[in-house]
Structure formats: structure tokens, C-alpha cells
Amino acid sequence: MSERIEDIAKAMVAEGKGLLAADESTATIKKRFEAIDLESTETSRRDYREMLLRSEAAMKNCISGVILYEETLFQNAADGTPLAEVIRAAGAIPGIKVDTGAKPLALASGETVTEGLDGLAERLARYYAAGARFAKWRGVIAISDRLPTANAVKANAHALARYAALCQQAGIVPIVEPEVLMDGEPGTHDIDRSEAVTEQTLRVVFNELADAGIKLEGMILKPSMVIDGKKQRKASVAEVAERTVRVLKNTVPASVAGIAFLSGGQSAEEATAHLSAMNAGNSLPWALTFSYGRALQDDALKAWKGESGNVEAGQRAFAHRARMNSLAARGLWTAEQERTA
Ligand code: 13P
């Protein structure tokens, strides 16, 4: 594997491949496991993630890289092989979530700024030594009639740029993730509001990245799609795709290595349909692919249920979603394939 960040970034968005976001914090994975009535322990978290990472065909054909939580990067599989090695053996790249979460923004009501810059240079050196070649930082942008404030957008964009600079200096590709919430509160915004806020957020983010001297060929953007709030979903697949592509064309420089979406609370099939519609028939300056968490994992988690006898069923469910999203990354997914596959 080449070690130039430009080449790593290119490999992350190789044709028909995307990223598996398996970087749930310990608090978040606990919530996911509660849904299948499973206690979250170091071993159950390891077993679950090992199941996904050992889905050989899916990993080889559809997954370019895996975003890990710090615990997983330093964890071994049941047979003692480091999980980062399992990922590399499947031809994928290990990555690491490095932010320490969205914290209340002082003097603001209901907005957050993502933290984790203190000591980040030292942490990145440790992660690099453990095999991580890309990182992720998620800024959260609340949306309502009055939010976000310019202050919250700027604070998050500035933090993203400082993080991205530290990554590139360490030889690590930054995934820059400014998420405009779809399923936050109140969740009643319409798609016009989503489009305006997403466009403004991306403008501010790319200004900050430029000021910080970020090499665009050596980064990946992980945006949310332009979509109406969870409590008022009515936009069609075509509308979400058209508006999202329009905003990206207006704001994302052509030299950015690639764009890999988050799923943000969309159902698995919605997230696939939207991605495919964006790629179908569009000639775009960057690769558009997936970096899904819930939309790739939900079915697998339900099939597995925390039981070793269900590992194959879990892997089958994961492989199916990975394949559907691989098709979507090429603009080739259809609802028909979903049912006959
Ligand atoms: P979802 O696809 O579940 O939104 O997760 C992606 C992610 O990495 C959020 O930071």
C-alpha cells in the first residue's frame, strides 16, 4: 500500500467501494446492543466487530476502509490477530475516529462544538503506529428555523480544519464530517431549509480548510444529504439526489479526493437509493460513495442478536447491504435487485 495521503484518499473511494463506519463510542454501541438485548462488554463489542470484519467477500469487494473506535484499533480477534490486521488482510484500510464528541457550545443554546484537539498530535502518532491511515472527526450542526448560528458553524468548521491539518501532518487522511442533523430536534425543517444550511455550512468549512492549508487531494468529505427533517419526511429520492448534488457542485472544489456520505438515521434502503440516484447518469468531479454506520449495520446486528450461532446470518445481512451500496456507488442499484438478491 502506498503511503502518500493522496493515494490513500484515492483508495478510500475506489470504484464501487465505500467505508464502513464502525466507530460507535462505548456509549453509542451500548445503546445499539440494548436493542438486541445484549450486554456491552469488551468481548461482545469485539465479537460483533470481528463478525463484520471477517465478512470476507463483502470486505474485499465493497469496503475500502473501516472507521474504528480507539478500543477496536488496539483489540485482537478471538484468535489473537489484531483486528487492524484482519482489515488489512481483506484489502481494506483501518481508520480511526479521533474526536471526543460534541459538547455544549458555551453561551449558545442547543448547539455544540466537537472537541478532541488537545493532545491530538500525540494520539495520531500512536494511531499511525497501530496501522491507521485515515481519521474521522464529526462536527454536528443543529438545524431549525433559527439554527444554526453563524458562531456554531464557524466554531465547528475551525475545529475540523485544525484536526485536518494535524492529520495531514501525521500522514493520515482526514475525513471531514460536518453533519447537518436530519434526526435531531425539532426535526421539522423542510428540504429548502436543509439545502440552505448544508450549502452555508460547506462554504464555511471549505474556507476554513483553505485557511489551514489543507491539501484537498488528501482529504475525504463526509457530508449529510440534503433531506427534510425526520418528522416531516416527504421529499422524493430524485429530489434528495438532485439537491444534494447541486449543493456539492456549488461548494466542494473539484480537487477533493472524494465524498463519502453518512446515513444519519435514514433507513438502509433509503440511504442506498439516494446514493444510487446521485451517481446514476451524473458525471461528477469526485467519487460519491458511502461511509455508513447504521445503514450498513442495522440488519446485521438484528440477524446476529449477540449469538455465536448467528454469525453467518449476520455476515450474510452485512454482505447484502454492502453489495447494495457498492451498486449504488456506481449508480446501478435498483429496488428490484434489493428483493431478488
Ligand atoms: P451513520 O451512517 O449511522 O450516520 O454513521 C456514520 C458516522 O460515521 C457518523 O459519524
Q: Is the pLDDT of residue 340 over 80?
A: no
Report the first-to-last Cα separation within the chain, whole angstroms: 33
In whole angstroms, give the CA distance from residue 44 to residue 184: 29
Beta bridge partners of 63: 18
- Dist. CA 304 → ligand 1 center (Å): 20
Q: Is the pLDDT of residue 1 over 70?
A: no
H helical segments located in the chain: 5-12, 26-34, 42-53, 56-62, 70-73, 83-89, 120-129, 150-169, 191-211, 237-251, 268-279, 294-304, 311-329, 335-340
Cα angle value 16/22/26 (rounded, 5°): 170
- Dist. CA 177 → ligand 1 center (Å): 9
143 backbone dihedrals φ, ψ, rounded to 5°: -135, 130
In whole angstroms, give the CA distance from residue 138 to residue 16: 24
Residue 332 near residue 302, CB atoms below 8 Å: no
Residue-wise pLDDT for 195-217, tens only, equals 999 999 999 999 999 999 999 99
Which residues are part of the catalytic machinery?
177, 222
For ligand 1, say whether the CB of 123 is within 6 Å of any of its atoms. no
- Grade residue 190 by pLDDT with cuts at 50, 70 and 90: very high
Residue 229 near residue 190, CB atoms below 8 Å: yes
Query: Mean pLDDT across the stretch 217-240?
Result: 96
Cα angle value 85/87/93 (rounded, 5°): 105
- Dist. CA 294 → ligand 1 center (Å): 7
- Dist. CA 321 → ligand 1 center (Å): 15
Residue 93 near residue 8, CB atoms below 8 Å: yes
- Grade residue 341 by pLDDT with cuts at 50, 70 and 90: low
Query: Mean pLDDT across the stretch 230-238?
Result: 93
Grid coordinates representing 270?
A: 433509503
Pocket of ligand 1, candidates 292, 297, 321: which has the most ligand atoms within 8 Å of its Cβ, to mutate?
A: 292
Residues sharing a CB contact under 8 Å with residue 268, sequence separation 6 or more, in sequence order: 294, 295, 296, 298, 299, 321
For ligand 1, say whether the CB of 21 is within 6 Å of any of its atoms. yes
Supply the pLDDT for residue 153: 98
For ligand 1, say whether the CB of 94 is within 6 Å of any of its atoms. no
Residue-wise pLDDT for 83-140, tens only, equals 999 999 999 999 999 999 999 999 998 999 999 999 999 999 999 999 999 999 999 9
- Cis previous bond, 186, omega within 30: yes
Any idea of the CA torsion for 55, 59, 60, 64, to the nearest 10 degrees? Answer: -170
Q: Report the atom number in ligand 1 closest to the C-alpha of 67.
A: 8
Residue-wise pLDDT for 266-323, tens only, equals 999 999 999 999 999 889 999 999 999 999 999 999 999 999 999 999 999 999 999 9
- Dist. CA 271 → ligand 1 center (Å): 11
Question: What topology does CATH give the domain 5-340?
Answer: TIM Barrel (3.20.20)
Pocket of ligand 1, candidates 66, 262, 267: which has the most ligand atoms within 8 Å of its Cβ, to mutate?
A: 262
Supply the pLDDT for residue 2: 54
Reduce the DSSP state of residue 42 to 3 states and report it: helix
The ranges assigned to domains in the chain are 5-340
Q: Report the atom number in ligand 1 closest to the C-alpha of 138.
A: 10
Residue-wise pLDDT for 146-184, tens only, equals 999 999 999 999 999 999 999 999 999 999 999 999 988
Nearest CA to ligand 1 atom 8: 21
For ligand 1, say whether the CB of 293 is within 6 Å of any of its atoms. yes
For ligand 1, say whether the CB of 321 is within 6 Å of any of its atoms. no
For ligand 1, say whether the CB of 264 is within 6 Å of any of its atoms. yes
pTM metric for this prediction: 0.98
In whole angstroms, give the CA distance from residue 299 to residue 315: 10
Residue 17 near residue 64, CB atoms below 8 Å: yes
For ligand 1, say whether the CB of 272 is within 6 Å of any of its atoms. no
For ligand 1, say whether the CB of 18 is within 6 Å of any of its atoms. no
- Dist. CA 138 → ligand 1 center (Å): 9
Instruction: Please name which of 244, 256, 241, 111 lies closest in space to residue 175, comparing C-alpha atoms.
Output: 256
**Residue 185: what residue type?**
E
Reduce the DSSP state of residue 3 to 3 states and report it: coil
- DSSP codes, 68-135: E-HHHHTPBPTTS-BHHHHHHHTT-EEEEE----EEEPTT-SS-EEE---TTHHHHHHHHHHTT--EE
Supply the pLDDT for residue 281: 85
For ligand 1, say whether the CB of 322 is within 6 Å of any of its atoms. no
